[in-house]
Amino acid sequence: MNAIVATAVSVGVLGGIAAWLFLSVGSILIWAAFAAWACYFHSGGDQAALKSTIICNILGVVAAWVAALVILAIPLAEVLTLPVWAGVVVIITVAIYILLAQVEVFASVPGTTYGYACTFAYLLQTPDKLNLDTLTSVTMSNALIVVIISMVIGAIFAFVSGKWAAAMTKS
């Protein structure tokens, strides 16, 4: 079987299983898992890509979570307006994670950006998640927990789908 067909079969089948699993559990985020899945293949689709995807996705989630905490906990929005204050915090946190890319383990800026974007997507598009009580809770409502778990599971599914596709392409 050629590589494209093998990848289509492995990602399609495992994607369907992941969707069933995530929807059955109900609190983990299938879209964040698929972002991590794409990140794995974008990063090379090998053992190093799995490590980079997991580490850099987590870095992005942590950076966005810290940004959200800062935006909410430091009352500069009252002085600067919320859009300006949020913009300043995003400038700072994004600059920090890009500067961290100088450290080899954090070198995947796209991987970090996927984690950052997924976290803010969850916080801004899911009712009642962007507040200090939720952000500091030890529950699956906390973006730090649910986005990381979702993305790590997605990266693992990606790794398995890549291995399966490779096995199907061997003669």
For the stretch 5-26, pLDDT in tens is 999 999 999 999 999 999 999 8
Instruction: Determine which helix (DSSP H) or strand (DSSP E) holds 64, and give its type and residue range.
Output: helix 47-73
Is the pTM higher than 0.85? The answer reads yes
DSSP 147-165: HHHHHHHHHHHHHHHHHHH
The residues, any chain, with a CB within 8 Å of residue 138's CB and separated by 6 or more, are 145
The predicted structure's pLDDT at residue 77: 84
d(CA 106, CA 97): 8
d(CA 41, CA 53): 9
Burial status of residue 99 (CB atoms within 10 A of its CB: 0-12, 13-18, 19 or more) = exposed
Its domain, for residue 24, covers: 3-169
The predicted structure's pLDDT at residue 105: 97
Q: Quick: pLDDT tens for 41-53.
A: 999 999 999 999 9
The residues of the chain scoring below 70 in pLDDT are 171
Number of domains in the chain: 1
